[in-house]
């Protein structure tokens, strides 16, 4: 890809390929790490290093931490992929590539194209994916623990009111 003459079209294609490859590698890495966290927590529980706080759950099912259980949700993994892609490692790698030196014939002539691709990917992920993370969380119905607790309390209050009004109507 970098051996072609640097044109606007080839730079755009290279930038899209760079972004797609980064997104796919990020997704694979997150899926592997989430599975690894799950199995480490199961191993800790079986070794006796982790005692679950709630003994009300089934003893047959592995009882892992809240974090490990949350990381198994595909919605959470999608949010991690979309909002976690910031290309810091890619930028560091591009910066470590030397510029072409005609005397020693080392380095690359395409460092500028590589920096442009990486910078475009960084700008896209920060502004588009990072900026849309609130809406992604809302559409996937992922809430903080406080919001879930408030929702449960409101539902309980509504149920109590409906039970009280039903019992007062009977008298």
Residue with tokens 């460092």: 111
Give the residue from 77, 64, 76 showing the smallest Cα distance to 38: 64
CB 125 within 8 A of CB 146: no
| CA distance linking residue 94 with residue 117, whole number of Å | 10
pLDDT (tens digit per residue) in 99-153: 888 888 888 888 888 888 788 878 877 788 778 878 887 888 777 666 666 776 7
- Tokens 């089934």 locate to 58
Contact status, residue 26 vs residue 81, Cβ threshold 8 Å = yes
Token pair 């694979």 is found at: 28
What digits encode the pLDDT tens for the residues 10-65?
767 877 787 788 778 878 888 898 889 888 888 887 887 766 665 555 555 556 77
pTM score > 0.75 for this model?
A: no
- Domain ranges (residues) in the chain: 8-140, 144-171
Rounded CA separation 2/68 (Å): 41
- Residues 133 and 79 sit within 8 Å (Cβ to Cβ): yes
Are 15 and 116 in contact, with CB atoms under 8 Å apart?
A: yes
CB atoms closer than 10 angstroms to residue 153: 10
- Adjacent-strand bridge partners of 99: 108
């Amino acid at each position: 890809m970098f051996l072609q003459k640097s044109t606007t079209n080839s730079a755009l294609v290279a930038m899209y390929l760079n972004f797609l490859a980064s997104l796919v590698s990020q997704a694979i890495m997150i899926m592997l790490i989430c599975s690894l966290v799950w199995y480490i927590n199961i191993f800790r529980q079986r070794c006796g290093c982790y005692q679950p706080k709630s003994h009300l759950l089934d003893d047959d099912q592995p009882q892992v931490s809240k974090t490990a259980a949350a990381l198994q949700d595909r919605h959470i993994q999608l949010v991690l992929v979309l909002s976690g892609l910031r290309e810091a490692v890619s930028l560091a790698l591009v910066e470590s590539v030397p510029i072409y030196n005609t005397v020693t014939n080392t380095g690359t002539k395409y460092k500028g194209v590589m920096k442009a691709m990486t910078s475009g990917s960084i700008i896209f992920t920060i502004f588009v994916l990072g900026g849309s993370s609130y809406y992604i969380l809302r559409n996937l119905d992922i809430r903080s623990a406080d919001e879930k607790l408030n929702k449960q309390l409101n539902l309980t209050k509504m149920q109590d009111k409906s039970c009280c009004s039903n019992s007062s109507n009977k008298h």
